[in-house]
Structure 1
Amino acid sequence: MDLAYPFAGRWLVRNSPADRVPSHGTALFATSYAIDFVPVDATGGTAPLTPGSLVRPEPPGRFPGFGRPVLAPAEGVVVAAHDAEPDHMAYRGLPSIGYALTQRRRAAAGWVALAGNHVLIESRGVVVALCHLRHGTVEVRPGQRVLAGDRLGRCGNSGNSTEPHVHVQALDSHDIEHAAAVPLTFGGRLPRNGEIVTAHTP
């Protein structure tokens, strides 16, 4: 399915299916073709790495993309919207190792524990999920029709996330546990890991 980028500005590509499938190392919850976008500043960086970053968790507000608008990547109808999960600390360096060890527990807890605050949009028979939104910022509700570029919420650090970013995936059903993954492109192409993409508001 071809989408518009669900944001404006500069974002770093991570876990792209252009480099491996399944992109996140698992097919659980139809994530085989999922992709992550990390908001960066004008220099292409996230929060400056300090000695403290390597040994303790950091507030998500330190990161330049925390709170950036997340936009609808296609016209469609909202089929789910969840906004009850807190934003947690970000983890780099040694703290990221400890956080990774708890991932199995989150996976066992189900989709919401992994996705955090999220919106599902059904468009042309495909369901697009946008995940890890900031608590208290989701602006849409199930049944609402959206156009590409409409604001859905803001970039956060909820769910299975080590730093503020947006996780995007497509599925053939909104029954997440039984859905199959659908490949994605953005403007006709799939960016690779490490690429910085720049998008403008539609």
Structure 2
Amino acid sequence: MLSTPPVVLRFPFQGRWTAENSPANRVPSHGTYLLGTTFAIDFIAVDERGRSAKHGWRSVLATEPPELFAGFGAPILAPASGTVVAAVDGELDHEARRSQLALIPYALSQARRVREGVRAIAGNHVVIALQPAGPFVLIAHLQRGSVSVAVGSVVMVGENIGSCGNSGNSTQPHVHVQVTDSTAWPTARGGPIVFERPQVNGGNWLPRNGEAFTAA
């Protein structure tokens, strides 16, 4: 898939968001080719001041309830039309970790999550097959109990599929999007993606790290 044209997706949310770990800045975007994440991108909802959540003593010294974050519970929409081939719910939403102190034990447990497989990494997630043989779009880190589609469901672009959560390999509520050539995750290869640009400018677009934008 590395030589194929980018898959054009629609942003899977509305409102104000910021891009992180964008392949517009580097490839592989998450520092690894593992689990087809080569061209994956993350999105964090922010308020009018560009904050994912207000800062306080917990953001400096401890963990934080995910409910404090702008994105937690935000509706997540299908970024493309297709057939649902995986729908996982029931994984816990973790406490958020913006504190460097709280991130230390989390970093030390990263290898264990990788060994445990896709549920430990993606948390609650949905995979949409754009065609029977792919490509496949993964939308990850959804809120527990929010997944509203099932395997075999045919979804249309813009249809609600769940809510933003903090499940899986996630340090604060956000949405992870990637495209792969397979759902055999140990050998899946990631493919490039672009998004329909907000109507004010038209065309397709891939936001860079830290770039904030409003999705209609």
TM-score class, shorter-chain normalisation, is over 0.9
1:114 equivalent to 2:121? Answer: yes
What RMSD over aligned residues (CA atoms) do the two structures have, in Å? 0.9
> 1:70 is matched with which residue?
76
Distance (whole Å) between structure 2 residues aligned to residue 52 and residue 171 of structure 1: 37
Q: Report the equivalent of 1:60.
A: 66
Partner amino acid, structure 1, of 2:113: R
Q: Report sequence identity in percent.
A: 52
SS of 2:67 mapped into structure 1: helix
- Indicate whether 1:89 and 2:105 are aligned: no
Q: Measure how far apart 1:52 and its partner are.
A: 2.4
Amino acid at match of 1:141: A
Deviation at 1:97, TM superposition (A): 2.3
How high is the TM-score relative to the length of structure 2? 0.90
CA distance in 2, matches of 1:76, 1:43: 36
Q: Using the TM superposition, give the Cα deviation of residue 102 of structure 1 relative to its aligned residue in structure 2, in angstroms.
A: 1.0
Residue-by-residue CA offset, 1:97-156 (whole Å, 9 max, x unaligned): 221121111011111100000000011431000000000000000110001100000000
- Match for residue 196 of structure 1? 212
- 2:136, 2:182 → 1: CA distance? 6
Instruction: Give CA-to-partner distance per residue, 1:36-88, whole Å, 9 cap, x none.
Output: 00011122211112122211111000111100000000110000000020101
1:68 partner amino acid: A
Say if 2:36 is the partner of 1:30. yes
1:138 aligns with 2:147: yes
**Structure 1: any 5+ residue segments left out of the alignment?**
none
1:172 corresponds, among 181, 190, 215, to: 181
The answer for the alignment partner of 1:20 in structure 2 is 26
Give the TM-score, by structure 1 length. Answer: 0.96
Structure 1 equivalent of residue 45 of structure 2: 39
Read off the aligned partner of 1:120 and give its amino acid letter.
Answer: V
The ranges of structure 1 where at least 4 consecutive aligned residues each deviate by more than 6 angstroms after the TM superposition are: none
Instruction: Choose 170-179 or 15-24, whichever is displaced more.
Output: 170-179
Compare 187-196 and 133-142 and name the one that shifted more: 187-196
Q: 2:161 aligns with which of 152, 170, 173?
A: 152
Count of residue correspondences: 200
Q: Distance in 1 between matches of 2:168 and 2:78?
A: 20
Quote the Cα distance in structure 1 between the aligned partners of 2:103 and 2:92. 18
Note the C-alpha offset of 1:21.
0.8
Unaligned runs of 5+ in 2: 1-6, 197-203
